[in-house]
Copies of this chain bind each other. A is one copy, B any other.
Amino acid sequence: MVNLADVRAARERLGGDVHRTPLLSSRQLAEIAGGPVYLKCENLQRTGAFKARGALNAVRSLSASERARGVTTFSSGNHGQALAWAAALEGLRAVIFMPTSAPRTKVDAARGYGAEVRFAGTTSPERKAAAEHAVATEGLVMVPPFDDARIVAGQGTCLLEVFEELPTPGFVLVPVGGGGLCAGSALVAAACSKATRVLGIEPHTADAMTRALAAGEVVTIAPPKTIADGLMPLAAGALPFSLAREHLAGTVLVDDDEIRAAVRFLAQRAKLVVEPSGAVGVAALLSGRVRLEGSSAVVILSGGNVAPQFLAEILATGE
């Protein structure tokens, strides 16, 4: 498992190479939600998402021989960018497997950090198989996106920062994909502030953690359709699931219209660009699915990597 000491060690490893992101209060959201609301701005993090924390912690946890072999992963999204960035920072080779359908911007971003991009099929299992083949045949070290103790510990550093500024929020609202950020946050809260309830927020079609918690074991869901493209893994990670089962207060589901409204609200009122996956916590508050009734809430805005044209479309369709 992973514990607070691991998260603290991760923080030492990260040093000043990730941003201590701002924690901003939002009066307008507070009025709607019925209690003080604080936005933890991981959209302003290096690489545009919290994933920089886990990826850099993992890379800096490697042995000398592992470093010499280089790293790989099968995420085309924020974790892929983050690993490319972290490897570049440490001067390591990185090979990122992406679907043949990957948008040009994501390919260019990984290459911009100096990573090698390879294309493998269109589904996550195809990419994973290709990356595992590269591990077996080329000696690359796999850095998985969430089901990994070093990744979970790195993601936990985000809430550690929050608690230094705001020791005992009533709630912490965390987006859930594979569960790395959620698990890291839940374990930190359990160790640092027993009065704080951590809620995992999922798109209602991408409810792998909700179902796993109900079933008492990891379950695989049907491929979800949602605009929250960072929250689409078909199953929670085994490690994140076991931490979530122990420490998470519960999960809340939001739909795509609620997520769109949250992205619009954040741009228009909070002046922040947040990707759909990063806006699910605000969606839970705006929709009334979570009511604070006087308690305070920290909402982790997990990332800001949304294509400008898609953001434009979301903004243009508002009132």
Residues of B within 8 A of A24 (CB): 19, 22, 44
Q: Does A268 contact B (CB under 8 A)?
A: yes
Q: Is A267 an interface residue (CB 8 A)?
A: yes
A contact face: mostly helix, strand, loop, or mixed: helix
Looking at A128-136, A226-234, A269-277, the stretch in contact with chain B turns out to be: A269-277
Cα distance, A267 to B315, chains bound together (Å): 13
Cβ A271 vs Cβ B315 within 8 A: no
Q: Check if A63 is an interface residue, CB within 8 A of chain B.
A: no
Report how many copies the assembly holds: 2
Tell me the complex Cα distance, A272–B267, Å.
8
- Min CB distance, A274 to chain B, in Å? 7
Q: How many residues on the A side are at the interface (Cβ–Cβ under 8 A)?
A: 23
Which residues between 261 and 319 of chain A lie within 8 Å of chain B, taking CB atoms?
Answer: 264, 267-268, 270-274, 304, 308-309, 311-313, 315-316, 318
A-B contact pairs, 25 of them (CB 8 A): A19-B24, A22-B24, A22-B44, A24-B44, A43-B271, A44-B270, A44-B272, A48-B271, A267-B273, A267-B311, A268-B273, A268-B308, A271-B272, A271-B273, A271-B274, A271-B304, A308-B315, A308-B316, A308-B318, A309-B315, A309-B316, A309-B318, A311-B312, A312-B312, A315-B315
